[in-house]
Amino acid sequence: MTTLIKNVKVIDAYTSYYGDIVIKNGLFTTLAKDESLDDIRVIDGKGLTAMPAFTDTHAHFREPGFEYKETIETGSRAAVRGGYTSVLLMGNTNPSCSRYEIINEIQEKAKQIGLVDIIQSGTITSGIEGKDISHLSDVRRATQFITDDGKGVMNDKIMLEAMYFASKHDMTVISHAENHYFSDTNMRLAENLMTFRDIELCRISGCRLHMAHVSTKEALKRILEAKEEGLNITYEITPHHIYADSSTHYRVNPPFREKEDVAALIDAIKSGKADAIGTDHAPHSLEDKAKGAPGISGIELSFSICYTVLVKNNTLSLNQLSSILSEKPSKILGIKKGLIKEGYQGDLVLVDTEAEYKINANQLVSKGKNTPFEGQKVYGNILMTIKSGNIVYKGEEYDCR
């Protein structure tokens, strides 16, 4: 079926206009002059903004092994409610994503559910134990992304060997930058030391490196210097690390940082130097949070938080926001999404940028109701998410005829 979105404000990284959008055979296209309207679904977007659906470079859907926290299906439903149709999942499941069969099973299940395009990362070390990378020959058959996210790789030699392997086989290494020797005493130093190390190992190996959840001004500065030197490095910033600082007492990893760190992250986004927003969606049960499990259930709140902080409070343009939510992260994942442009996959969101609401954890679709932002007012509401021309989420507020 052809889908026509009419009378809408169209925004992507490079475009801003009022008009119509056509999606045919799953792709953005134009409407032929003699094409009959009988077989076309028409959506009236008057008063709304259409943007490319968002791409998440970092999320946890917990399956297999922790389905009580989240499943592929509940995570997918949370994603599309947040405007996301493409998600890179981390591999710290149980069993971990250290084998082709596990990775492939997750990706195939996501296809069957049909809400979100999921890329499942493999683990850098077998079982995320930091000792062995012999499994990578098997893992690379199923994915181009490897990470020991949630833990990191402490052994320098093992990390360098993994980077050499990734460089040889056109894979991306995702760094969870945390030096465990300082995790209990100085989490700033833990992040900074490991960031510096992984940048140097990237220089030696020539691999493609993506830095996850960057949160300190020192780590950010070193990454930007390395990018200016020409190293093949990208990085992500989480919504919660630009929304809150260390005055928010809630356990996340990396932790909430100081006001000057938040300012540095926002400045990087405003200057166009940031590569992506990665939600680090980390759903937990209430019992696990009470026991100290780190993480925020963030994929449904990502757009509203970013829009509030960056556009409403820091004069970022919607084009710039679209770039770091859609275009740039899609490039990192190597998918033809992120722009409303002929030939690109027809994934978009309809947003009411004038809407404001208070965050209510109980209204989250995710199994994880864990957020420190309960009751706080944010702006920008996702009313509809479309994937390949199909409506995969429609808010109750939107009357789609």
Active site residues: 280
153 closest CA partner among 187, 197, 192: 197
Those residues whose C-beta lies under 8 Å from the C-beta of residue 286, and which sit 6 or more positions away, are 369, 370
Beta pairing class for 2-11 and 145-147: unpaired
Q: Which residues of 156-177 are buried (b: 16+ CB within 10 A; e: fewer)?
A: eebbbbbbbbbbeeebbbbbbb
For 222, what's the count of Cα atoms within 13 Å in the CB-facing half-sphere? Answer: 19
Alpha carbon distance 252, 255 (integer Å)? 5
Alpha carbon distance 121, 101 (integer Å)? 13
Q: Would you say 367 and 358 are in contact if contact means Cβ atoms under 8 Å apart?
A: no
Alpha carbon distance 165, 171 (integer Å)? 8
Alpha carbon distance 323, 326 (integer Å)? 6
Q: Would you say 328 and 280 are in contact if contact means Cβ atoms under 8 Å apart?
A: no
Q: Would you say 246 and 255 are in contact if contact means Cβ atoms under 8 Å apart?
A: yes
Q: Show the tokens assigned to 2.
A: 């052809």
Q: Specify the residue for token string 């020797």.
A: 181
Report the side by side order of strands in the sheet with 233-237: 145-147, 172-175, 208-211, 233-237, 276-277
Q: Which residues pair with 86 in a beta bridge?
A: 55, 117
